[in-house]
Amino acid sequence: MNILMALSQLEVTGAEVYATTVGDALTARGHRVFYVSDTLTKPHQGEFFMLRFNKRSIPRRFWHVCYLVYLIKKHRIQLVHAHSRASSWSCYIACKLTGTPMLTTVHGRQPVHASRKNFHALGDRALAVCEAVREQLVTGLRVSPELIAIGRNGIDTEHYQPMPAPDNHKPVISIIGRLTGPKGELCYRLLDQCLDLECYRVKIASGSQVPERFQRFQDKVEFLGYVQDVPELMAHSDLVIGAGRVAMEAILMQRPVFAVGEAEAVGLVTTENIDAAMASNFGDIGPNDLDIDFAALPVRITDALNTCFNNATLAGTVRAAYDLQAVTDELEHHYQSVIVHRLRREIPIIMYHRFIRDDSEKGVHGTYLHVNMLEKHFKLLKRLGYETLTFAELADRGMASRLEAGKKYIIITVDDGYKDNFELLFPLLKKYGFKAVIYAVTGETFNRWDVENPENPEKTVELMTPAQIKEMANSGLVEFGGHTLTHPKLDQLGREQQRIEIAENKTQLEQLLGHKLTSFAYPFGIHNEDSKQLAKELGYPFAVATNSGPLAMHEDRYQIRRIAIFPRTDVFGLWRKIKGNYVFRKN
């Protein structure tokens, strides 16, 4: 995907660290990430464009929107991810004009006024960095709860390793954060009212210029300026004071953290208060700014320096909640949902069964297609520029790869594994260079499940032999998936019977092919929760149904929708079904 990260800032902020950290993780996954902001200090991959979002006059905002529209069109941006109020307003208008999906991460408490309540400018989805932000968006700004999800900060947890306690002659306290705005006020009051600068060695790391009022502390406090190696600073600190990412990173290094931010003083973070600390982003977000009893802090800070606690347990909690790859997984999930539902388009997954040469091979059930029509289908796909994907490729590249800019992907699936798949489909796959996924039944030699149907018996049709299956798989054009031993209606079986049908079929195909299977198809598209759980437990990354499941395929990997192809699906009918919006029009 092509993603535009939009920030507004004049110095390094937590939002910038978040955007560049997850941006680089997304880049590593094959996405193209661009940045637009007033400034961008942190090292990052991806092109950066300067735009003075903090200049907020009407002419300036008009220019912001025009420039964003230009960037969106020039770089074929598929999603805009805003990270601040100023940038989100302009991005919202630009995305409306261009029809571009948009998502906003809300990093802090929002100002509450009438216009903000009526014009949220958050786009298609909002990610709140903690529960307190979510609560304020819902209660203070009347944002619909369905629009909001929790989107934690992503931290490269491998970069912050446990460190032994330093052997400092005088306790070292490090304060990390801005010296401007509410954080600057907090830092000033800590120095002025709470810290004994004679007893402690206080170090301050900040990207801000030291304001004039801080000059009175110059002789007693070390103002380090912007620090590239924050872990090194934390490693030599007896206590780290900060909020948000600062607190998380210090906890990962198993350094004592006194969490205090723009809203409240959580105090020393322990296993007892870690959940509450995370809910307020370690003191950064609350109902009011600086709602802190500063008179009580000196004793609390002294106690924090003298308290022993389970650092390893805390680090494990933070690692589980903020791990960069897990956070990026969630972010990709939100991106896909926003794009698919905003544009009402999903890559088509079409479903064939068997193929015939002449009318004598027609069946009672409408699960066949004449091979001449199949070739017309393939000619249309080739003419329209479609490329075929398999589920094995999706598992390798990631689900989001199906939304790659400038690509038109389709997944061709074929159920049951009839002999005609080898005789008629296989040559056309070779001719057109297409790939397909065939779901093979392995406990039968013909379509017994249809032939022995007392209400509507079908004619007998042979299934492929193991040799034919292996030849198709070895070609690299066909991925085989599981389809049970005998093609039963799974919801009519007990859990153990379902397990045998799914597991034995999987084992037989994997032994024949010499590799693991990637996807499974429920016979008749019929399944229940046991079926889905068993597919997952038995190691399938994906399972496909027919006309049930979410409209966006990534939202339930074990109930992926498919589009049925029938005998009367001509070229025009296929075109209607593969445009991408078919499942949305049908629901």
Q: pLDDT tier at 22 (50, 70, 90 boundaries)?
A: very high
Q: What CATH number has the domain bearing residue 427?
A: 3.20.20.370
Residue 419 belongs to what domain range? 345-585
Report the C-alpha gap between 356 and 371 in whole angstroms. 6
Closest residue by Cα to residue 521 from 398, 386, 400, 349: 349
Complete DSSP assignment for 286-321: SSSTT---GGGHHHHHHHHHT----HHHHHHHHHHH
183 falls within a domain: yes
Residue pLDDT, tens place only, 360-372: 999 999 999 999 9
| 171 plus 271 within the same structural domain | yes
Whether the per-residue pLDDT at 172 is higher than 80: the answer is: yes
| 197 plus 91 within the same structural domain | no
According to the model, what pLDDT value does residue 158 have? 86
| 101 plus 170 within the same structural domain | no
Q: pLDDT tier at 10 (50, 70, 90 boundaries)?
A: confident
| 485 plus 516 within the same structural domain | yes
According to the model, what pLDDT value does residue 114 have? 63
| 227 plus 182 within the same structural domain | yes
289 falls within a domain: yes
Residue pLDDT, tens place only, 459-510: 999 999 999 999 999 999 999 999 999 999 999 999 999 999 999 999 999 9
333 falls within a domain: no
According to the model, what pLDDT value does residue 348 have? 97
| 287 plus 170 within the same structural domain | yes
Closest residue by Cα to residue 335 from 137, 127, 543, 67: 127
Cα–Cα separations (whole angstroms), residue 585 to 69, 397, 557:
29, 29, 21
155 falls within a domain: no
327 falls within a domain: no
Domain closes at, from 102, 124, 150: 150
Q: pLDDT tier at 449 (50, 70, 90 boundaries)?
A: very high
| 119 plus 143 within the same structural domain | yes
Q: pLDDT tier at 117 (50, 70, 90 boundaries)?
A: low
340 falls within a domain: no
| 8 plus 55 within the same structural domain | yes
Question: Reduced to 3 states, what is the DSSP secondary structure of residue 554?
Answer: helix
Q: pLDDT tier at 290 (50, 70, 90 boundaries)?
A: confident
Kindly state the average pLDDT of the residues 314-340. 95
Domain closes at, from 125, 150, 175: 150
Q: pLDDT tier at 207 (50, 70, 90 boundaries)?
A: confident
| 130 plus 182 within the same structural domain | no
77 falls within a domain: yes
Beta strands in 187-301 (DSSP E): 201-205, 221-225, 239-242, 257-260, 265-268
Q: What CATH number has the domain bearing residue 94?
A: 3.40.50.2000
Whether the per-residue pLDDT at 528 is higher than 90: the answer is: yes
549 falls within a domain: yes
Give the CB-side neighbour count of residue 74, counting CA atoms within 13 A: 10
Kindly state the average pLDDT of the residues 45-74. 94
